[in-house]
Amino acid sequence: MKKIWFALFSLALVLALGACSGNSGQSGAKKPAKSATKTALMNFYMNLTNHINAQDRDLNTYEQAIAKTDEKPPKTELATMQKEAQSSAENV
């Protein structure tokens, strides 16, 4: 009789563990979505500087013109560059 109870208890234990292991398949489905989200965020942050630099190109040009020590552009050209740089900085 003890052998029958032990066999039934073992069978119930196997079924219970088998039922619990079914949840791991559902959590496996979430991993690709999580990975895709991480990839999208990483791509966004890696390309962020490229997007900003595309918008503030006029500001960078103006800052480089001011930093020149040997040949500075004329004041009228600097004034125009300054206005463009200001609008570009506001856009960013």
The pLDDT tens digits of the residues spanning 16-66 come to 777 776 555 555 555 667 888 999 999 999 999 888 888 888 888 888 888
Q: Check residue 22 and give its pLDDT.
A: 59
Name which of 61, 48, 49 is nearest 87 in CA terms. Answer: 61
Predicted TM-score of the model (pTM): 0.47
Q: Check residue 60 and give its pLDDT.
A: 87
Name which of 28, 39, 49, 47 is nearest 92 in CA terms. Answer: 49
Between the CA of residue 15 and those of 6, 9, 10, 69, 89, what are the distances in Å?
14, 10, 9, 81, 66
Place of tokens 């918008």: 55
